[in-house]
Structure 1
Amino acid sequence: MIPAMRAVTSRQSAYAVLRLGQLAAMGVVTGLILIAGVWASWGTAQHVMLGKGREQGTITVRSCSGDVCTGPYTPVSPGSRARSRVVIDQSVAVEKGRTYTVTVKPGSDEVVRSGPAGLLYAWVPLAGALLLASVVVAGGLRLTRAAWVMAGAGIALLTATILVL
């Protein structure tokens, strides 16, 4: 018998099946993390990225309470109407007394930041998902290069957001 043609033992085949199961499970977990990051980001990002035809203008933040800030809305785009009070989520990206470019969410008096700062800020949940998924890819899938690329993309997105805000 040729040594290269030895029989596969049940121990080897069990290991192969377990390894395949681990790869499949970690692949699914990674996919779910990334989908959740895109899903969480898209709620805000769609208003910023698909701003054509939406009301665009500026808000001067007058007051903040709880987790929202309010102020008057001044239209910039044609067809947009002025509002005495619109609501924007209070976050590290909004300060009382400052003026921001915004896009109005259709059918409401809620606004989201627009422009480069708003776009980057909208995708912060995806950056977090990339960082989390990189740990799963490195540990569960043993793909260290891919994990470093994912982590680098997440860190770059977070860094760019912090610099722009």
Structure 2
Amino acid sequence: MGALAALIVFAGVWGSWGSAQHVLLPKGREQGTVRVAACAGGTCSGPFSPTSAGARARARVELPESVAVRKGRTYDVVLKPGTAQGLRSGPAGMLYAWVPLGGALLLASVVVAGGMRLTRLAWVLGLAGLGLLTAAFVAVQ
């Protein structure tokens, strides 16, 4: 059960790192703002205005609509290298990038409590996951 709980947490870190690496380590990546002009099909898009050295303006950058993105608002973003896909940066982007880890911590807490009978550790894992998910929800609003 311990190996299963560790695997679940590792999978959460692995799932989060794909986006988190761009948000947490933005040095050398294009950074700027996107003013959302349109939303359709699960993505929102708008013009990109660079704020970092070496970044270039773009007519269209896409953001996932699931990140509490609203038409007409401006968001700080980091672009994934070689793409026109933006990821929210700043505290909201950092917390949102780690949402898969929050879910994994919640799931691992159930495995630890039920399979290993370590209730204190399970409470710590569960509250850490719940805290991460709640903080991300509050930050992206």
Would you say 1:40 and 2:15 are equivalent positions?
yes
Q: Unaligned regions of 5+ residues in structure 1, if any?
A: 1-25
Please list the CA deviations of residues 37-83 of structure 1 after superposition, one character each: whole Å capped at 9, or x if unmatched: 11111111010001011110000111111111110000000110000
- Max Rg structure: 1
Structure 1 consecutive aligned stretches of length 4 or more whose deviation exceeds 3 Å:
none
Q: Distance in 2 between matches of 1:142 and 1:38?
A: 24
Would you say 1:117 and 2:106 are equivalent positions?
no
Q: Distance in 2 between matches of 1:150 and 1:76?
A: 38
Select 2:116's aligned residue among 141, 157, 161: 141
Superposed displacement of residue 92, structure 1:
4.1
Superposed displacement of residue 93, structure 1:
2.1
Q: Distance in 1 between matches of 2:64 and 2:139?
A: 18
What is the 5 A alignment of 1:1-165? 26-165=1-140
Give the TM-score taking structure 2 as reference length. Answer: 0.96
Superposed displacement of residue 86, structure 1:
0.8
Q: Distance in 1 between matches of 2:116 and 2:61?
A: 47
Give the TM-score taking structure 1 as reference length. Answer: 0.83
Q: Percent identity?
A: 64
Q: Which structure would you say has the larger RCO, counting Cα contacts within 8 Å and 6 or more residues apart?
A: 2
Q: Unaligned regions of 5+ residues in structure 2, if any?
A: none
Q: Distance in 2 between matches of 1:116 and 1:51?
A: 13
Q: Distance in 2 between matches of 1:64 and 1:29?
A: 39
| Matched residue SS, 2:46 | strand
Please list the CA deviations of residues 4-59 of structure 1 after superposition, one character each: whole Å capped at 9, or x if unmatched: xxxxxxxxxxxxxxxxxxxxxx1121111111111111111010001011110000
Q: Distance in 1 between matches of 2:112 and 2:4?
A: 9
**What number of residue pairs does the alignment pair up?**
140
Q: Distance in 2 between matches of 1:92 and 1:42?
A: 17
Amino acid at match of 2:116: L
Partner of 1:22: none
Provide closer, same or farther for how the CA distance between residues 92 and 109 of structure 1 changes in structure 2, counting only shifts above 3 A: closer
Aligned-residue RMSD, C-alpha? 0.8
Superposed displacement of residue 95, structure 1:
1.2
Q: Distance in 1 between matches of 2:75 and 2:50?
A: 12
